[in-house]
Amino acid sequence: MNRRELLKYGVLGLVSNYGLSRLPAFAQSPFPLPRTLQVRRTDGLVEVQITAQQSHLILGGKPVWLMTYGGFPGPTLRVREGETVRLKFTNNLPEPTNLHLHGLHVPPSVDDSMALVQPGESRLYEFRIPKGSAGTYWYHPHVHGRVAAQLYAGLAGLLVVEGPLDALPELKEAEEYLLVLKDWVFSGDRIPAWTQMDWMNGREGSLLTVNGAVRPTLRAQKATLRLRLLNASNARYYRLALENQPLYLIATDGGFLEKPVELTELLLAPGERAEVLVRLSRPGTYRLQALPYDRGAMRMHGGMHSVMGDQGMGQGMGTMDHGGMGGMGDTGTMGSLMGMGATRLETLLTIVAPANPKPMPLPTSLAPIERLDPAKAAATRRLVLGERMMQAEFFINGRMFDPGRVDIQAKLGTIEVWELVNETEMDHPFHLHTYPFQVLSRDGQPAPYRAWKDTVNLRPNETVRIAVPLRDFGGITVYHCHIVEHEDRGMMGVLEVRP
């Protein structure tokens, strides 16, 4: 394989790509483009195959064992609104798995997170891409109890839906890039076993990657970029900012906003997606950074000097003695100080602007978004997130997940208002399958703009009200925390929608 082919297939090729493993881990690695899934397209029918398998790849310059959909990130499935997808999924892993179409409004009988695909077996997923759903989605496994292990090991890929709005000149002329954000920890060439701390906090890792590359450099050809961002991490939050340059948010989980929203920073919780326009108004480099963020997780620190030296640390710090917990293998070198704390500032990516950049004007309007009237809600429900931290047990309305129990029964064709309450001391990204929703308010403050979401973050002690239209298809589906360790450890419930 030559260099160009490597770029085409992404940095994570096979181990035989020695050219890459010779690069020092933090050299300027080129920005890898996720591979696009090869499809067969006939009269609106898209036929594709996705296979889950064990993979020996190079990550951060070192060979590692992962589970992937044939490389990390998995190949991007690109489809258009209105198309029908016939997806044959094959499990070549030595354990059961399945495929979840995160964020897509498709029947729960198809996107069935309780279904299991046994090793060596296949399952057919056939679904129609709804009109008006253009946006950035993703696929990943959903076997209760194994989501943390399987997602962490690299089973994630993007699903991009294209629609008529993508033809807007201000979007079409922008240079589009996909960015899958994910962190890792390895012990040798393996992912180590989960510790009790990992189950409590959700596992993070100190190796941060964009499309599987450590701090890559993106050489832009144009001065306007359209970035499609996915947080595919188990538990890490990314508070994204571009040095000295605003981000223009144009789409959230479920597609376009009504018009671009200028942001100085963008918080992306696990499972969330966002699309932003970036305008490179001067030549030179721009760093995409993850600013410090405190999500209430317990962290281990190397000692007071390093704590004080880190940006954003120091708040809410206090030493806590959890000496009895044990089993903290992968963090053992970090010393024994522990407390609540923020992540540190990290550079994720460097963008190099073209010479004489001339960014395009922003689109003035995007997609109209229906106004959901909470006064018309058929029901108002309260969902309280709770935890027994030291046991790493997580609850919704006091109960742990039970696949045989229906927690919420609702009527097809109605709109409901859900009041999500976080009674814990940690952030939790709440996610609902099948039915995209709109955030109405946060602690009584109305949402600053209308947007379709499938995942919404809840800060400690916060109450978020959402409007959920239960439309088009009924069935049994789930909602859960997208810190997937919490999902595996009980923070999930069952919704049944009936005519």
Chain positions contacting Cu ion, by CB under 5 A: 102, 428, 433, 481, 483, 486
Q: Which of residues 316-355 bind ligand C2O (CB under 6 A)?
A: none
Q: Which of residues 229-288 bind ligand C2O (CB under 6 A)?
A: 271
Closer of 35 and 102 to Cu ion (Cβ): 102
Closer of 228 and 482 to ligand C2O (Cβ): 482
CB of 172 to ligand C2O, least distance (A): 29
CB of 297 to Cu ion, least distance (A): 10
Q: Does 182 bind ligand C2O (CB under 6 A)?
A: no
Among ligand C2O, Cu ion, none, partner that 481 touches (CB below 5 to 8 angstroms by kind): Cu ion
Q: Does 433 bind ligand C2O (CB under 6 A)?
A: yes
Q: Which of residues 132-151 bind ligand C2O (CB under 6 A)?
A: 140, 142
CB of 200 to Cu ion, least distance (A): 10
Among 203, 236, 301, 431, binds ligand C2O (CB under 6 A): 431
CB of 454 to ligand C2O, least distance (A): 8
Closer of 146 and 279 to Cu ion (Cβ): 146
CB of 147 to ligand C2O, least distance (A): 8
Closer of 271 and 363 to ligand C2O (Cβ): 271
Among ligand C2O, Cu ion, none, partner that 142 touches (CB below 5 to 8 angstroms by kind): ligand C2O
Closer of 155 and 366 to Cu ion (Cβ): 155
Q: Which residue has its beta carbon closest to ligand C2O? A: 102
Task: Give the chain as a 3 state SS string.
Answer: CCHHHHHHHCCCCECCCHHHHCCCCCCCCECCCCCECCCEEECCEEEEEEEEEEEEEEECCEEEEEEECCCCCEEEEEEECCCEEEEEEEECCCCCECCEEECCCCCCCCCCCCCCECCCCEEEEEEECCCCCCEEEEEECCCCCCHHHHHHCCCCEEEEEECHHHHCHHHHCCEEEEEEEEEECCECCECCCCCHHHHHHCCCCCEEEECCECCCEEECCCCEEEEEEEECCCCCCEEEEECCECEEEEEECCEEEEEEEEECCEEECCCCEEEEEEECCCCCEEEEEEECCCCCCEEEECCHHHHHHCCCCCCCCCCCCCCCCCCCHHHHHHCCEEEECCCCCEEEEEEECCCCCCCCCCCCCCCCCCCCCHHHCCEEEEEEEEEEHHHCEEEECCECCCCCCCCEEEECCEEEEEEEEECCCCCEEEEECCCCEEEEEECCEECCCCCCECEEEECCCCEEEEEEEECCCCEEEEEEECCHHHHHCCCEEEEEEEC
Among 35, 102, 226, 299, binds ligand C2O (CB under 6 A): 102
Q: Give the footprint of ligand C2O on this chain (CB under 6 A).
A: 100, 102, 113, 140, 142, 271, 431, 433, 480, 482
